């Protein structure tokens, strides 16, 4: 700042200035000195700027005597100086610089830091799609949505659809009956290229107020497992099948409601006073709504020649003369793929005739998973969801970590001070668990922090924030499904013996590949205390064997029969010897059931038990925190990449 001293008639340049806006600038010297005319001050400052920037000495010899005054610059005092030391000031040198001197420019390549989100490596179409998904605004309340004409029209469209489906009847509330509440949920629907398709407003019932035996009974409805989703995409990548996505409009309205349920009048609907709505259709949010919809869909799709698989009830397969059609259902979203292209078109046409559906084209965005396709394969990521987690955590600085966990960290239940409000902790952990669908690199860290949700502390919250800082630095990472891999399964299993300091239970970790594509992984604490490392490893081997048997059967349902035994790689020779040994002894009596199961599958040639050294044991990634070099080495082997 350039400050004018009216007493000394000088201009002072200083960084530290305090503005007193309630006082006059010339209260001590009187206003008659300048007659309320401060134009000289602006002229003086402009001429000083010319001198400092142009360095022209010819301007210093003007008629105005004020131009000869010294310009004083105050510098911030060094922190090591004493408090009573006199402030140092010096006069600015206004000598002109040499115009012919060339400034040296750096020749280093400028690139964006890794901690910032960059879409430059994506294709233009996928980059536009992701940017469009991130840019849309979605209100959270009715009052907020009612301010925009787009969301008003969306709510009117939803109410019209509910009236056409005869979802309710307007009645008086019978004596002894209770009503349940409702709310609006808003979502922006996008096209396959990421551009705006429509604004979707959905009326949802508050089913958490329902009472069992009064307004609901059976509630279970199967949905597709995420392992099934990854396996289907990996198979389609190898087979070079196109994957299509379809969305059912108001899917739950297709299910009939048998119970007597009354609901409050939703905001925006005009009905007579003291009237309520008796539901006739299964509205979103009701506890029995998913089951009613799935039963209806299962009946319809079975009439078209599809059959539900025993390995995953939400997986439907149909064999035709031209090949196979595979349909996977997750509530009201479905993906369709297979080798029979004409059969897929016919299937989509039949579904659109039965239900009100929307064909979304090729699979690009499914359940929050962003899907990018190239000739090399499919890439699955959750960039948008990861950005939402970072925003929810409140982290605004640029600090990132190289690993999600500190090496050797062993958290206990009583570490730190209990959180006064554990809800944010639980919300973040729940979000991280869903993010691990495409991020196996955070599986063990999320497994650890999820064990303290009943009573989280400041130490546990710090571990969650460390995971989020790691995600912030690797936000673009995801799982890559190669199109050039084989269709053979290979699994790795490992265990951390007594690794939990709270109860000394061991941790099971395994991962299963379909060729080069990682399709299944797990990090789970064992239910019993193991008395030896061999026992812990063998229990992990039994869990991995069950996963292999399930995956082999599911691939068989999809038309892929694996003839060769699946390699189950283990780094514990004692466990391998026990599986191959025909004789039981006292040391294996307490794990006899696991021994029988693993040995039975080994004799049936479902699995093989090759030994792998601990250096190349990929399942080690899911059992304990690792140092940065080891972490990055195994992460590269798992095909977790940032495009």
What is the band of 592 on the pLDDT scale with cuts at 50, 70, 90? low
Cα–Cα distance, 160 to 166 (Å, whole number): 10
pLDDT at 92: 38
324-347 as b/e: b if 16+ CB within 10 A: bbbbbbbbbbbbbbbbbeebbeeb
Cα–Cα distance, 574 to 596 (Å, whole number): 16
Q: Please name the helix (run of DSSP H) or strand (run of DSSP E) that holds residue 522, with its range, or none.
A: strand 517-525
pLDDT at 429: 93
pLDDT at 131: 61
**3-state SS assignment for residue 85:** coil
pLDDT at 469: 92
> In this predicted model, which residue has the larger pLDDT, 268 or 46?
268
> In this predicted model, which residue has the larger pLDDT, 73 or 607?
607
pLDDT at 62: 43
The three-state DSSP-derived secondary structure of 93-132 is CCCCCCCCCCCCCCCCCCCCCCCCCCCCCCCHHHHHHHHH
pLDDT at 233: 93
pLDDT at 237: 92
> Among residues 491, 481, 612, which one has the least CA distance to residue 549?
491
Quickly list H helices, 166-311. Answer: 226-239, 289-303
What is the band of 93 on the pLDDT scale with cuts at 50, 70, 90? very low
Contact 189, 198 (CB under 8 A): yes
pLDDT at 53: 46
**What's the whole-number mean pLDDT along residues 428-441?**
92
What is the band of 129 on the pLDDT scale with cuts at 50, 70, 90? low
Cα–Cα distance, 422 to 627 (Å, whole number): 30
Is the confidence at residue 101, as pLDDT, over 60? no
Cα–Cα distance, 309 to 315 (Å, whole number): 6
Token pair for 310? 């025993």
pLDDT at 71: 43
Ranking 109-123, 459-473, 622-636 by mean pLDDT, the lowest is: 109-123
- Report DSSP letters for 539-587, one per residue: HHHHHHHHHHHHHHHHHHHTT----SPEEEEBS-HHHHHHHH-S---GG
Q: Is 204 left (phi over 0), alpha (psi -120 to 50) or beta?
A: beta
Contact 472, 390 (CB under 8 A): yes
pLDDT at 503: 82
pLDDT at 60: 42
> In this predicted model, which residue has the larger pLDDT, 400 or 23?
400
pLDDT tens, position by position, 278-311? 888 888 888 888 888 888 888 889 988 899 998 9
Contact 337, 236 (CB under 8 A): yes
Is the confidence at residue 153, as pLDDT, over 50? yes
pLDDT at 106: 61
Domains and CATH numbers, the chain: 2-91 (no CATH), 124-374 (no CATH), 486-612 (3.30.420.10)
Is the confidence at residue 121, as pLDDT, over 60? no
pLDDT tens, position by position, 515-562? 889 999 998 888 888 878 888 888 888 899 999 999 999 999 998 888
> In this predicted model, which residue has the larger pLDDT, 49 or 203?
203
**What's the whole-number mean pLDDT along residues 80-95?**
42
Bridge-based pairing state of the strands 566-569 and 607-608? parallel
> In this predicted model, which residue has the larger pLDDT, 135 or 503?
503
User: What is the overall mean pLDDT for the chain?
Assistant: 79
Cα–Cα distance, 37 to 33 (Å, whole number): 9
113: Cβ–Cβ under 8 A, 6 or more apart, which residues? Answer: 398
- Based on the number of CB atoms within 10 Å of its own CB, is 474 exposed (0-12), middle (13-18) or buried (19 or more)? buried
């Amino acid at each position: 700042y350039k400050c004018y001293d009216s007493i000394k008639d000088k201009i002072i340049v200083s960084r530290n200035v305090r503005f007193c806006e309630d006082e006059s600038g010339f209260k001590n010297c009187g206003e008659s000195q300048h007659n309320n005319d401060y134009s000289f001050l602006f002229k003086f400052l402009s001429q000083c700027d010319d001198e400092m920037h142009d360095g022209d000495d010819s301007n210093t010899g003007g008629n105005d005597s004020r131009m000869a005054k010294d310009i004083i610059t105050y510098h911030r005092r060094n922190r090591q100086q004493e408090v009573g030391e006199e402030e140092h000031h010096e006069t600015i040198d206004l000598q002109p610089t040499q115009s012919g001197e060339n400034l040296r420019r750096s020749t280093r390549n400028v690139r964006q830091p890794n901690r910032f989100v960059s879409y430059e490596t994506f294709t233009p179409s996928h980059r536009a799609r992701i940017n469009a998904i991130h840019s849309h605004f979605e209100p959270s309340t009715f009052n907020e949505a009612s301010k925009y004409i787009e969301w008003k029209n969306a709510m009117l469209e939803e109410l019209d659809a509910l009236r056409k489906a005869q979802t309710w009847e307007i009645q008086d509330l019978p004596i002894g009956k209770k009503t349940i509440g409702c709310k609006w949920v808003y979502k922006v629907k996008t096209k396959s290229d990421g551009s705006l398709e429509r604004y979707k407003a959905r009326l949802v019932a508050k089913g958490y107020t329902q009472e069992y035996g009064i307004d609901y009974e059976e509630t279970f409805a199967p949905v597709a497992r995420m392992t099934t989703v990854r396996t289907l995409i990996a198979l389609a990548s190898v087979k070079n099948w196109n994957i299509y996505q379809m969305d059912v409009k108001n899917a739950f309205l297709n299910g009939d409601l048998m119970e007597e349920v009354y609901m409050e009048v939703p905001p925006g609907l005009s009905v007579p006073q003291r009237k309520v709505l008796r539901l006739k259709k299964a509205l979103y949010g009701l506890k029995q709504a998913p089951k009613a919809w799935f039963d209806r869909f299962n009946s319809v799709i079975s009439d078209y020649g599809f059959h539900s698989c025993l390995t995953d009830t939400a997986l439907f397969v149909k064999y035709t003369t031209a090949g196979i059609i595979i349909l996977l259902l997750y509530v009201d979203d479905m993906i369709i793929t297979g080798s029979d292209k004409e059969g897929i078109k016919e299937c989509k046409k039949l579904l659109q005739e039965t239900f009100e559906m929307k064909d979304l084209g090729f699979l690009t965005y499914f359940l929050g998973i962003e899907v990018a396709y190239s000739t090399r394969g499919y890439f699955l990521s959750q960039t948008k969801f990861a950005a939402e987690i970072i925003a929810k955590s409140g982290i605004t600085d640029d600090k990132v970590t190289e690993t999600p966990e500190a090496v050797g960290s062993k958290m206990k239940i009583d570490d730190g001070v209990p959180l006064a409000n554990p809800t944010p902790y639980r919300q973040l952990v729940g979000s991280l668990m869903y993010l691990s669908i495409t991020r196996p690199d955070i599986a063990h860290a999320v497994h650890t922090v999820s064990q303290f949700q009943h009573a989280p502390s400041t130490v546990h919250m710090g571990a969650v924030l460390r995971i989020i800082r790691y995600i912030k630095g690797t936000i673009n990472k995801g799982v890559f499904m190669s199109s050039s891999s084989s269709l053979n399964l290979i699994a790795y299993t490992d265990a951390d013996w007594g690794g939990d300091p709270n109860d000394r239970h061991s941790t099971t970790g395994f991962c299963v590949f379909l060729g080069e594509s990682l399709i299944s992984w797990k990090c789970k604490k064992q239910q019993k205390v193991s008395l030896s490392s061999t026992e812990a490893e063998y229990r992990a081997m039994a869990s991995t064997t069950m996963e292999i048997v399930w995956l082999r059967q599911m691939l068989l349902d999809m038309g892929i029969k694996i003839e060769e035994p699946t390699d189950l790689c283990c780094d514990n020779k004692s466990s391998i010897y026990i599986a191959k040994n025909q004789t039981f002894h006292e040391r294996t009596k307490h794990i006899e059931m696991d021994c029988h199961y693993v040995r039975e599958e080994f004799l049936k040639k479902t699995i093989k038990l090759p030994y792998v050294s601990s250096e190349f044991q990929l399942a080690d990634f899911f059992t304990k925190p690792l140092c940065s070099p080891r972490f990055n080495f195994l992460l590269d082997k798992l095909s977790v990449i940032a495009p």
